[in-house]
Amino acid sequence: MNQLMYKSTRGSAKEVTSSEAILNGIAEDGGLYVPSFIPSIDFDIDELSKLDYKSLAYLVMSKFFTDFTEEELKSCINKAYDHKFTTEEITPVKKTGDNYFLQLYYGPTLAFKDVALSILPHLLKTSIKKQGINKNVLILTATSGDTGKAALEGFNNIDGIDIIIFYPVEGVSAIQKLQMVTHNGENTHVIAIKGNFDDAQTAVKNIFTDKAVQKTLDEKGYMFSSANSINIGRLIPQIVYYFYSYLSLYKNGEITKGEKINIAVPTGNFGDILAGYFAKNMGVPIDKLICASNENKVLYDFITTGIYNKKRDFYITNSPSMDIIVSSNLERLLYFISGKDSTKVSEFMNALTSSGEYEITPYMKNNLGDFYGGYASEAETNHAIKHIYDNNEEIIDTHTAVAYSVYKKYKDDTKDSTKTIILSTASPYKFPKSVMVAIDEKYSHFDEFKLTEEMDKLSDYKIPASIKDIDKKKIVHTKVCEKSEIKDVILDLVK
């Protein structure tokens, strides 16, 4: 097989191999790495449905990480998808009533980020060896809640790698915050910033292209990489569960050979649904990708109008991992729907920086046909949680509820009866206050940790060991900084 190379969405950086792209995190021109083409897989469903998760992961990832040997890639996969996950299926599909929920929260931090962040550290370590790097790697990551803890777990105490997590001081749940600030690792740092996720993400992306900072770090024996989904090593592993969930429906007799499905994805940074777009282009019979936003509905507005405008109010919602105005991974979609026109992508990104908005071309709007955009208000999100519980005695988290609510709107709008998989991206135990109060107002006076016990009483899904008594753990990370101080904080930590 020919080696698949990676290029920048903005076109002025050199082509690199997958291991170089994983190591770099972001291209030197500020763009994101994309494969030179999206490879296809012969979708023989009877053969594919015989594969377990690890075997399917190897099949999919080997198409993208072509400079990894079979031994190297299988080693990464075997180390990633082991006892850390509390189900052998890794990402099971559960039928609840007439709905299919792809449960992505059986990893160590109870969110979909675990699927990719369990393997990224191993891909990165292998890439370091392949490229003969003799520097320490500094991972910089902004988080809206879930990436932070998943990255801390994945990179914990790995030699030669340090990781710094930035999270908004207001805008993550109490459980999410405690998962991060109680984390104890020799190479891990967690910093709260006075700002929102977009402030953290923008600051981190700018540092990646700051030549003065790069020079300082180089002198100290460090190089940058990222654990956000701007890193192609984060994005590609997420493609696997789109294959796996479709095959699960087929194996369970829910769909027939060749039958198309829809996918509803709660998304803020556009990475998860972009993995679904890749899966569709690789051969998975997906019809519509339903892009579900919360009240920060910048993606809904973009899909329905073709205009991306970040000049808007920012809302803190009960689905905080989606509280995002600047969706980084959308840049990769722009590249593909523009016919791989990196000049056009650069123009859009420059316009977003200078004026806060851009409008795509009519040609590109026509290429958005794979997507349906919708959004759910806080009231609609709460109603979805209560509806699912009252009718099915199933508890879903707020992000899943956003996707369910938008899926219902899609059905009402289009009368489309195509079977649809709804991505359940986080455990309800990460957001007990929002979830339990949505089920019954009587829980409004309970604290978050008492509510996990109450949730345990209502659910077959018991309190996960990873958060049991988390409120009693020692706080390790207490630093808070202004968004303007992020650069100084980083340089201080690598003295």
Contact 310, 357 (CB under 8 A): yes
Amino acid making up residue 365: K
Closest residue by Cα to residue 430 from 397, 462, 465:
397
The contacts found for 433-439 with CB under 8 angstroms, 24 or more apart, are 433/173, 433/174, 434/173, 434/318, 434/382, 434/398, 435/385, 435/395, 435/396, 435/397, 435/398, 437/382, 438/381, 438/382, 438/383, 438/385, 438/386, 438/398, 438/401, 439/385, 439/386, 439/389, 439/395
Q: Is 177 a catalytic residue?
A: no
CA angle 40, 42, 46 (to 5 degrees): 140
- Which one from 63, 79, 94, 113 is the annotated catalytic residue? 113
- Sequential DSSP letters for 206-267: HHHT-HHHHHHHHHTTEEEEE-STTSHHHHHHHHHHHHHHHHHHHHTTSS-TT--EEEEEE-
Q: Which residues have a Cβ under 8 Å from the Cβ of 54 and sit 6 or more positions away?
A: 74, 77, 78, 81
CB-CB contact of 160 with 134 (8 Å): no
The Cα 258–Cα 193 span in angstroms is: 48
Residue type, 195: G
For residue 49, what are the contacts with CB-CB under 8 A and spacing of at least 6? 247, 250, 251
Q: Which two tokens stand for residue 288?
A: 């519509």
Q: How far apart are CA 96 and CA 100, in angstroms?
A: 6
- CB count in 10 Å sphere of residue 175: 23
> Contact at 8 Å (CB) between 196 and 482?
no
Cβ count within 10 A of residue 346: 19
Catalytic residues, by residue number, are 113
